[in-house]
Structure 1
Amino acid sequence: MEGELKNFIKVWIAAILCLSYCHYIVSRLIPKGWLRLISLLPVFYLFISMPLNLHSFHLCALTTFFLVWLGLFKLLLFSFGLGLLSPPPPSVFHFISIACLPIKIKQTSPPKSLLNPRTTQKPKKSVNPIGQLVTKGLPNKSILLAVKALVLGVVICMYEYKSRLHPYVIIVLCCCHVYLGVEIVLFLCAAPARAIFEFELEHQFNEPCLSTSLQDFWG
């Protein structure tokens, strides 16, 4: 386990150095377009290959999610002047956070007085009254997160007895493992960004497990 943690630290040091190269050199010296895309190809290769050095499921899954899924696609958009990294943030720490973390900074909307009253407004999304009633009755989010972390720990411990469990029960445990793990990781990623960098972030989710239809689940 000690060697795995060392590999994990090495991978993220290399990722931070790659993103620093993108911020200090690529964004300032290379214009957006195909030339910038070519200059980012070594970074793409490293982001895809570095998670393969990790053998732990949780560390490898998290690193793959942050680097391959988030970082790779955000840098791909960045190479053509699109996405959340365009224009590049002035601070390298902001650049790295936006590139790798599943966060989206809340955009300040113009005041209503400046909007043209003649413009047609988009119809509001239909709100599920049952979901609203259930959400209002929920306890504090921090308490809810602690309960979910406890449930996740129980789910992980139950894997030791999977030889005695029905296959359908194991499938349910895997679904709970993925759902709770993703929700807790997303919360833990957004909390430091709000506290350290004082970002005003958009909500990542609103209790999707309480949705009563696929339309409410996908938003």
Structure 2
Amino acid sequence: MEGDILEVIKYWLEGEITNFIKVWLITYTSITYCYFASKIIPKGKSRLLAFLPIISLFIYLPFTLHSTHLGGTTTFFITWLTNFKLLMFTYNVGPLADPSITTLFHFVAIACLPIKIIEKNNPIDDSIQKGKKSTLHYAIKVLFMAMFLKVYDYTNLIHPRIIMFIYSIHTYLLLEIILVICASLARGLLNVEVEPQFQEPFLSTSLQDFWGRRWNLMVTRILKPSVYIPVLKSSERFLGRSYSQLLAIFATFAVSAAMHELIFYQMGRLKPNWGITLFFLMHGVCLVLEVGAKKVLGVKIQFPGILGRVFTVAFVMGTGFWLFFPQLVRVKAFERGLGEYAAIGAFFKDIAKALNLSTFQTQ
């Protein structure tokens, strides 16, 4: 019995899974080095030089993976989020510089996981409280994910625009589920409460609301101290506060565009055609115009609730259908992702067969 199961596990661990484990073992070891190095190397250029080999390694490691889910997620986690956290930490700012992080275990978890811990001494504000969802809420979203996977069996019978709409919902659900799993892991390992990463983005009333308060907030919380604030402060003396803010917004979207291009290149190994860059730069320009208009016309000037939501969602999805989701199709993200789901299903079927065969033989 044990021999059959071990053969199945051995088969599954070959190749991609083995590489995935190696990548994350190297990642944990590297972050451990950063933790102890920070104890003896002062903040500033010296610490930056000590961290640069690790930051370079984290750019390379995901390229040893080839699957959509494992490779793309690893690029997002360590090449983007962890690297930016380490860069900020070289000057003792950002989430890794939090004085509440007193152990190696906490340092590694905060460095690797896309989470923002809610401090126990600070009250949870209304937006965070409203963002907390029940287990049933996420169970329903998992059910919708399963339904979409079944729909893909009939793509030849469905209009391409409807398929693109399904892709957009699939992407949102997949991201939220992955981040919720990470948050649950952090709660269990660290015994802390973490902020939600999504605040129902389909209810956004403006682009500022969508990108700043509702969509993938871990990225927002990383880009603000690492890009937005430095650009704002460095340009303020030349441009003034208002224009510096607009420049900082655009710079933030430019960096986000570059990181998304890197993620898509990792997933598809295809030369960029800059559709992703155009998508984020377009949204950066539009958000600059929106914020600028609010400054000129008054902060309270905005579309009425329902009209604002319809316009915002239509704009995000419309530009996504035009520029963003075709890039996912181009790198065959959904096609390869479905193959990976099938491989997982085959894995569990093989285990079930091995267990049934072993039970039959013992009888």
What percentage of residue pairs aligned between the two structures are identical?
Answer: 45
Aligned to 2:69: 58
Are residues 1:197 and 2:209 paired?
A: no
From 45, 48, 51, give the equivalent of 2:56. Answer: 45
Distance 2:69 2:44 in 1: 35
Distance 2:80 2:191 in 1: 25
Q: CA deviation at 1:10?
A: 0.6
Aligned to 1:15: 27
Distance 1:188 1:142 in 2: 11
Distance 1:92 1:160 in 2: 46
Instruction: Read off the aligned partner of 1:74 and give its amino acid letter.
Output: K
Distance 1:104 1:110 in 2: 13
From 78, 86, 90, give the equivalent of 2:102. Answer: 90
Counterparts of 1:42-191 in structure 2, within 5 Å, are 42-87=53-98, 89-108=101-120, 141-191=134-184
Instruction: Read off the aligned partner of 1:207 and give its amino acid letter.
Output: E
Distance 1:110 1:162 in 2: 49
**Structure 2 counterpart SS, 1:5:** helix
Q: CA deviation at 1:98?
A: 0.7
Distance 1:160 1:45 in 2: 41
Q: How many residues align?
A: 195
TM-score (norm 1): 0.79
Which one has the bigger helix percentage?
Answer: 2
Conservation of the 8 A alpha-carbon contact between 2:155 and 2:163: yes
Instruction: Read off the aligned partner of 2:148 and give its amino acid letter.
Output: V
Distance 1:109 1:16 in 2: 29
For residues 39-61 of structure 1, give each alpha carbon's deviation from its aligned partner in whole angstroms, at most 9, with x where no partner exists. 11111111111111111101111
Conservation of the 8 A alpha-carbon contact between 2:106 and 2:190: yes
Which blocks of at least 5 consecutive residues in structure 1 are unaligned? 112-123, 128-134
Conservation of the 8 A alpha-carbon contact between 2:89 and 2:97: yes
The alignment yields a C-alpha RMSD, in angstroms, of 2.6
**Structure 2 counterpart SS, 1:85:** helix
For residues 143-165 of structure 1, give each alpha carbon's deviation from its aligned partner in whole angstroms, at most 9, with x where no partner exists. 11111112112223333433333
Aligned to 1:6: 18
Structure whose CA Rg is larger: 2
Distance 2:105 2:43 in 1: 21
Distance 1:178 1:99 in 2: 24
Aligned to 1:130: none
Instruction: Read off the aligned partner of 2:169 and give its amino acid letter.
Output: C
Distance 2:33 2:73 in 1: 22
**Structure 1 counterpart SS, 2:47:** helix
Which blocks of at least 5 consecutive residues in structure 2 are unaligned? 1-11, 214-363
Q: CA deviation at 1:195?
A: 2.1
Distance 1:165 1:12 in 2: 40
Conservation of the 8 A alpha-carbon contact between 2:113 and 2:182: yes
Q: 1:162 to 1:82 in 2, by over 3 A?
A: same
Q: Which stretch shows the higher mean deviation, 192-201 or 91-100? A: 192-201
Are residues 1:31 and 2:39 paired?
A: no
Q: CA deviation at 1:186?
A: 1.1
**Structure 1 counterpart SS, 2:97:** coil
